[in-house]
Structures are given as structure tokens and as C-alpha cells.
Amino acid sequence: MSLSGVWYLGLAAVVFSIGALGLLVRRNVLVMFMCVELMLNAANLTFVTFSRMLNDIGGQALVFFTLVVAAAEVVVGLGIVVAIFRRRRTATADDFHIMRG
């Protein structure tokens, strides 16, 4: 039995909502990165679902670009977090003002 695309789009909406809520509520930078990754994975699920529903490979090609953006975000973001951890032992979203120089 195969599920229709509506179920996958609903799941993507729920995952995106959890990620957006976590991004707005939490102040820990690592948790915020995980929430952004949840949001990107929800977008990937949407791309793949529409690709399957429309019988087109374009959505699946967009997933590779989204994965590249997610990898670049993790590299740059974790570099900034490591730089903050070297100065302090904690890293919250409020600590980014110490990166000014």
C-alpha cells in the first residue's frame, strides 16, 4: 500500500513547524543548528514529494543543492561556535556580539 503525496506534505509541514518553533524558542546555538537542519530536511521532503507526484526529476535535483547549502551552513556555523567556545565555555545566540573584534 502506497501513501499519497498529501501525507508526505503533511509530514513535511509538521517537521518544518517543529524546526521553526525550536529555532524561535531555543537559545542554544547547537540546538538552533539542528532546528535549521530540520527545516531544510522538510524542504527536501517537499521537493521529493512534488517530484514524485509530477513525475519529474527536477525536485530531486534541487535536493542536492539544498544538501550543499546545509553542509556549507554547518561548516561556517560550527566554525563560529568553536570560536565562541574558545573565548567562553558556553555558546548562546546572545554571545555573537563578542565576534565583533
Q: What is the CATH number of the domain that holds 91?
A: 1.10.287.3510
Residue with grid cell 543543492, as numbered in its chain: 65
Can you give the residue range of the structural domain that contains 78? 5-100
**Which three cell numbers mark 87?**
573565548
pTM greater than 0.75 (yes/no): yes
The pLDDT assigned to 1 comes to 65
Mean pLDDT over 39-52 rounds to 95
DSSP 11-23: HHHHHHHHHHHHH
Structurally, the chain folds into a number of domains equal to 1
| 96 compared with 66, residue with greater pLDDT | 66
Whole-angstrom Cα distance, residue 35 to residue 86? 24
Highest mean pLDDT among 1-5, 53-57, 80-84: 53-57
